């Protein structure tokens, strides 16, 4: 859901990202990802101003789509290589450019999309979690 609860993003296996208007239950935007994003989207999160949506999935890639002006996708550097992870399983936005990401091992990654830099990685073991993100 968008921060103002007016929109919801839906990820499909086509792959595509669909934006739905909650009040009318109607599709308002569709972004096909076949050529522009070579992975099936796994999770999504709106920016704090509700003008863009981040999404990620298998392959460790992160993309941002500004749907207010239907811009092309902006891609991050490959986070899988720098975090030894192939799947980014959870995504939360802190600000419009700062994203909190969780990988399949339960590691938390604070990523600045604007600068394309990882600000912090908190390993699951540091949080008292096992190698697959389960409590120990």
| Per-residue model confidence as pLDDT tens digits over 62-118 | 888 888 887 767 777 667 666 677 778 888 999 889 999 888 888 888 999 889 888
**Would you state the pLDDT for residue 7?**
92
- Write out the two tokens for 31: 């972004």
Question: φ and ψ at 15, to 5 degrees?
Answer: -90, 150
Q: Which of 71, 59, 73 lies closest to 113, judged by CA?
A: 73
pLDDT of residue 134 exceeding 50, the answer is: no
Q: Average pLDDT over the chain, rounded to whole?
A: 79
User: Rounded CA gap, 9 and 55, in Å?
Assistant: 10
Sign of CA dihedral 91, 121, 57, 96: positive
Which pLDDT tens digit goes with each residue over 23-73? 998 998 877 776 555 556 678 899 988 888 888 866 777 888 888 887 767
Compute the average pLDDT of residues 107-130: 80
Quote the pLDDT of residue 131: 53
| CA-closest candidate to residue 110, choices 22, 65, 102 | 102
């Amino acid at each position: 859901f968008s921060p103002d609860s007016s929109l919801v993003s839906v990820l499909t296996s086509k792959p595509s990202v669909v934006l739905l208007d909650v009040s009318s239950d109607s599709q308002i935007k569709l972004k096909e990802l076949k050529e522009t994003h070579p992975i099936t989207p796994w999770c999504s999160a709106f920016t704090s101003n509700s003008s863009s949506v981040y999404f990620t999935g298998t392959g460790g890639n992160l993309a941002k789509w500004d749907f207010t002006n239907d811009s092309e996708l902006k891609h991050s550097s490959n986070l899988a290589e720098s975090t030894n992870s192939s799947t980014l399983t959870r995504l939360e936005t802190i600000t419009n450019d700062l994203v909190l990401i969780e990988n399949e091992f339960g590691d938390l990654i604070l990523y600045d999309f604007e600068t394309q830099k990882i600000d912090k990685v908190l390993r699951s073991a540091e949080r008292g979690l096992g190698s697959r993100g389960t409590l120990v």
